Amino acid sequence: MNNKSALIIIDMINDIINKDGKIPSCAKTVEEHNVIENINRHLEDARNSGVQVVHVKVGFNSNYSELPKSSPVFGNINKLEAFKLNTWGTEFHKDIDIQPEDKTVIKHRISAFYCTDLETVLRANSIDTLYLAGVSTNMAVELTAREAHDRDYKVVILSNACASQTDELHEISLKIMSRFAEVR
Contacts of 94 (CB under 8 A, 6+ apart): none
Measured CA to CA, the distance from residue 159 to residue 184 in angstroms comes to 6
Looking at the 3D structure of the chain, how many domains does it have? Answer: 1
Measured CA to CA, the distance from residue 74 to residue 61 in angstroms comes to 14
Strands 5-10 and 154-163: unpaired
Residue 1: its pLDDT value, please?
Answer: 87
Q: CA of 24: how far to CAs of 38, 82, 85, 148, in Å?
A: 19, 10, 17, 26
Residue 69: its pLDDT value, please?
Answer: 85
Q: Give the CATH number of the domain where residue 9 resides.
A: 3.40.50.850
Show the domain range for 134. Answer: 5-183
Residue among 144, 173, 125 at smallest CA distance from 11: 144
The pLDDT tens digits along the chain (184 residues) read 888 999 999 999 999 999 999 999 999 999 999 999 999 999 999 999 999 999 999 999 999 999 998 999 998 899 999 999 999 999 999 999 999 999 999 999 999 999 999 999 999 999 999 999 999 999 999 999 999 999 999 999 999 999 999 999 999 999 999 999 999 9
Measured CA to CA, the distance from residue 85 to residue 68 in angstroms comes to 16
Residue 102: its pLDDT value, please?
Answer: 97
Cβ-contact 134, 158 below 8 angstroms: no
Residue 108: its pLDDT value, please?
Answer: 97
Give the chain's length. 184
Q: Which residues pair with 133 in a beta bridge?
A: 9
Measured CA to CA, the distance from residue 112 to residue 32 in angstroms comes to 25
Measured CA to CA, the distance from residue 138 to residue 62 in angstroms comes to 27
For residue 20, the tally of other CB atoms under 10 A from its CB is 10
Residue 75: its pLDDT value, please?
Answer: 84
